[in-house]
Amino acid sequence: MGDFRIELEGEPWRLRPAQKPIRPIVASIPHAGVSVPRAIATRFASSTIAGLPMTDWYLDELYDFLPELGIVTLIATQSRFVADCNRPPAGEVLYPGRFETGLVPTQTFDGDPVWTERPDAAWIEEVRLRVWQPYHDRLAALLDQWQQRFGSVVLLDLHSVSSLPNRIAPQLAEEIFLGDREGRSAGHLLRETIHQAYVQAGFTVSVNHPYKGGYITDHYGRPPAVQALQIEMAERVYLDEQKPGSRDPVLWLTACERIRSVWEDFVPAFD
């Protein structure tokens, strides 16, 4: 394919600063972005792909209360089809023996092709440098700043996922999926504090199955200095999974209230 260039509208990330009192927590939302540069959009394999399946729809809006709780939040603006900020830069395996998507996905979780032509090295390097790397540079800087300020920091990587079966997992029964790379990226107390807050709010919770954390959790989680935990939430908690791009007002408002109550429960534990 040779030389490949994309034009971005603005930064590949946006930051919501924490309000006082600031807490030693950084939130990352890498899959809610829906921006797609034209040079990439013209290569989508179908109208279905152009609808951006695999997006964590409206997750940035669902968690818009985090700054009020003193939590700084970093949000990717670009679609994960442009560059997936929760995947390793060189294609390292996170889940041996299981289907995985890469930094530039070539198939969806259902196995549908994403592109009319497979991304070559120039394409992948362009989006790595222009989208993936700036997100991680900003995230790493935040973690370093907060670690220096507080001595240690908690990184919460936030996601949503369809409950429907796909190549990664069967039908999902639980609503919340906590992942700490089998205890390697965070301490037991952090995971259990968050686990119990969700359970007490009436959520069903699974730990490290089928999701134990992606690249962000795996790469940055280095207890005790940085504890990283991935929080996956079934889309059905706040969306109609048959029409994820639209929102039912009653379901949405109920979910917002429930989720905020959970975070208001566990966040003070990290003062």
Give the per-residue pLDDT at 247.
Answer: 85
Give the number of domains in the chain.
Answer: 1
Please indicate, yes or no, if residue 29 is contained in any of the structural domains: yes
- CB crowding 56-89: b at 16 or more within 10 Å, else e: bbbbbebbeebbebbbbbbbbbbbbbbbbbbbbb
Please indicate, yes or no, if residue 6 is contained in any of the structural domains: no
Predicted structure pTM score: 0.96
Please indicate, yes or no, if residue 7 is contained in any of the structural domains: no
Please indicate, yes or no, if residue 5 is contained in any of the structural domains: no
For the chain, which ranges sit under pLDDT 50?
A: 1
Please indicate, yes or no, if residue 68 is contained in any of the structural domains: yes
Please indicate, yes or no, if residue 231 is contained in any of the structural domains: yes
Give the per-residue pLDDT at 2.
Answer: 58
Rounded distance between C-alpha atoms, residue 189 and residue 255, angstroms: 26
Please indicate, yes or no, if residue 94 is contained in any of the structural domains: yes
Give the per-residue pLDDT at 55.
Answer: 96
Please indicate, yes or no, if residue 3 is contained in any of the structural domains: no
Cα 236 versus chain centre, distance: 17
Give the per-residue pLDDT at 60.
Answer: 97
Domain that holds residue 257: 13-270
- Which amino acid, residue 25? I
Q: Is the peptide bond before 37 cis (omega within 30 degrees of 0)?
A: no
**CATH code, domain with 46:** 3.40.630.40
